[in-house]
Structure 1
């Protein structure tokens, strides 16, 4: 999936640009296991459909709510996958091996993906519709497998701020990204360092 930022809103209402670096990591913004459950936004299939219309899937071709067919079972599987990915990604970042159960769920999800099409009239790329929830899951799983397989290169990271849990794939050319966003945690770190020096 191609690179594109999201605009997030922090606890204090501050809006900031965040580039997760991949579709699978972007999915982690929708909630997660344990302490991340407070951020859950995928309560109904319609919630996922709306979220997907502004996701990295739209970098390939536009995606509208009416193009999607997501069932309750699809939503449950996507949430389970997301929770497994959280645990697997955090394990890899710590230098640990992800659990076999989490990797089994991630691998099993990678069998179907959305199908791109070429519009005969405009020669623009579209999606073969309807895009089913199982295809969305497959796209996220294939992306997650690539991210986790390449994680030893050190590009999968957690924000360096001690009070931020956002994960991202560093797609910058020099590979030295440390913060979820320079507008947020990066700026706070600069201010703190300046105060310490002063």
Structure 2
């Protein structure tokens, strides 16, 4: 990946939004929606939605060919695999075989190819830029994450009711919350109220 993850704004269907940096673009991608009870958070409804997400920084992969329905299906399968693998790693469980197979299958496709601009001051992706290449790049990043030095820092938010998962890439490695402005502040407020209630 050419740039560090800068996070995305996540929106709650019940209202409100906050910036969440998962520490890796592949983990940001895992939070674009889901299955079952997470279907209410779905943001990739149409192939064009996937193209728009991939075009945003830091990946900034602007498609040169329109995303197809088949690519959208593959993207959602990869997203679920990344989600399942990340949660298994956070819980220190064996990674699900199906998730590993899906990630490896996506990574086997040719990835995005970086290309330096003529003036040497910027980089982009060499044409053609297709969704399958972007998915391969995300899958390869997930493989690097799971097999690299930050594997032990993949964590689930410490809040009892927040399933968001992230890689703690901070220097001290002490991150506990999806975002301080969300679950971190809620925890502080609950702790303050508990202290006040216990104080005679």
1:25 aligns with 2:27: yes
Show the counterpart of 1:10.
12
Picking from 104, 114, 117, the partner of 1:116 is: 114
For 1:20 and 1:91, the matched residues in 2 are separated by: 16
Secondary structure class of the residue paired with 1:7: strand
Name the CA shift for 1:195/1:184 in 2 (closer, same or farther; >3 Å): same
Number of residue pairs the alignment of both structures matches: 193
Moved over 4 A (4+): none
Greater helix content: 1
Tell me the C-alpha RMSD between the 2 structures: 1.9
Most deviating of 38-47 and 167-176: 38-47
Residue 105 of structure 1 is matched in structure 2 by: 102
- Is contact 1:69-1:131 (8 Å) kept? no
Give the SS at the match of 1:4.
coil
Q: Does 1:75 align with 2:72?
A: yes
Relative to the length of structure 2, the TM-score reads 0.88
Name the SS for the 1:131 alignment partner. coil
- Alignment-derived partner of residue 176 in structure 2: 178
Q: 2:136 aligns with which of 138, 146, 165?
A: 138
Unaligned runs of 5+ in 1: none
What is the CA–CA distance in structure 2 between the aligned matches of 1:15 and 1:33, rounded to whole Å?
Answer: 20
